[in-house]
Structure formats: structure tokens, C-alpha cells
Amino acid sequence: MKPPQMPLPKHVAIIMDGNGRWAKKRHLPREAGHYAGMGAVRETVRAACDLGLENLTLFAFSSENWKRPKTEVGALMGLFRAYFRSDMDELVERNVRMRIIGHRGRVAPDIQQMIQDSESRTAPNTGMNLTFAFDYGGQEEIAAAAQELARAAKDGRLDPETITPELFATRLFTSALPAPDLVIRTSGEHRLSNFLLWQSAYAELLFLDTHWPDFDRAALTAAMGQFTARERRFGALDTLDSGAVA
């Protein structure tokens, strides 16, 4: 008899890595890798919608990425502008709700405006939640949440004894989303790189050798298959062990 299959993940989060290596392999500038990476974003979003995924979060720019050469940061910002301009109509048509998590205040004012416009335009949508982590760092996010709770406690608005993981999670950027149950990283590195540190506590991790620009519908479908084949226990016993008589 086939073992029971896990349902599809509720929230897939992806560390899109390997644009530079994809370009290098082809003797192209790194920017060409990022451009191809934008194509993979488009295809992955379409595939995720078609699969009926409820939440997709993509790591588009980390707070550490500011340290890259100015030309590369400029090229990435140009791509984000292009993406917001060209893809918003399709996201609306597909009933996608788009959100950005991250610092916000450090990007150029026109991008801040685009973010705000895209979020309000897609806010009534009830389909997939598409979240871009943009100028995002997990430790920064956790520290900001701790600051907010500490301030509330200092002002007497909060009893520190009432701080639980659930309460803490309401102060994170992701408070409107379920925790990711599958985190995928492309391009062979086995690290979280400051991505959704709190939220990924129980996530299945999937590390793929594929460079991000080569990630496509088939790769996403295969990743779903790998997830559904795994058994998640959240620290408890599996079904066989818990039913076993010693």
C-alpha cells in the first residue's frame, strides 16, 4: 500500500541564489544573470498560481546586498522597477496579493512608491500571497520586534510574562502569513543567509544545485513532490512510533 501523501505546502519560501554563477558559466556579466533571474521569478509565480499554492515568498534583496558593487546594486534596482512596471497587471489578473517585507526606508523614493502602489492595488486580491523579501534581514526583523515589545513593556502597556512565541510572531513582518513549511535554496549553498530565521523553525529545507535562472515550472513541481514525500513531525513521534507498544 502507498503511504499517505502529505498535502502541498502552504507556504513556500525561496532563496533565489546563483544568478552570478549562471552568468559566469556563460561568460556573461552578472547583470545578465539577474535579468535571467527575473524571468525565473515570472515563471515561478505563474507555476505557483497554477499549482494552487497559497503563499510564495521570494528573497529578492538582502540587507547585506547593499555591500555589492554600486553598478550591480543599480542594475538590481532597475530590474525591480521593470518588474513592478511590467508584471503588476498580470498579478492583478491572477488575483495575486503582493507584499514586500523588509526595511523599506532605504530604497529610492520611486521604488518605495511603486511598492506602496502595488501593495494597495493588489490588497483586495484573494488568491496567492506573493511576498518579496526586499532589503530584508532576519536578525534585523527579530531585533525590531524585540525592541517594539520592550518599548511596550517599559511604557507599562505589556506584561513581559505574556510574551509567547505566538505574540512575538505578531510583531514580525510576516504576521499575516503562515510560517513557511518549505524553504528552497538554489545553487548548491546549504545556508539560510538570514532569511526568515524565526519563521523557518519547523520548515523542511530543500537545497538544489540548479542556479536560480534555470529554476522553472518543472523544478517547482519536483520540489512540491519532494515535500509531499517527507514526513513532518514537529518534534513529536512519527505515526508508527507513537502507536508502537514497547
- What residues line the site for ligand FPP (CB under 6 A)? 16-21, 34, 37-38, 41, 60-61, 65, 79-80, 83, 132, 187, 212
17 is catalytic: yes
Considering the complex, what minimum distance in angstroms separates the CB of residue 150 from ligand FPP?
32
Are residues 158 and 127 in contact, defined by beta-carbon separation less than 8 angstroms? no
Residue nearest to ligand FPP (CB): 20
Contacts of 100 (CB under 8 A, 6+ apart): 115, 118, 119, 131, 132, 133, 134
The catalytic position among 50, 65, 129, 194 is 65
**Residue 25: other Cβ atoms inside 10 A:** 11
Tell me the closest approach of the beta carbon of residue 224 to ligand FPP, in angstroms.
20
Whose Cβ is closer to ligand FPP: residue 100's or residue 145's?
100
Q: How far is the CB of 121 from ligand FPP (least distance, A)?
A: 17
Verify whether residue 65 is a known catalytic residue. Answer: yes
A 10 A CB-CB count for 59 gives 25
Least Å distance, CB 87 to ligand FPP, is: 8
Phi-psi bin for 27: left (phi > 0), alpha (psi -120 to 50), beta? left
| Of 16 and 149, CB closest to ligand FPP | 16
Check: CB of residue 106 under 8 Å from CB of residue 135. yes
Active site residues: 17, 65
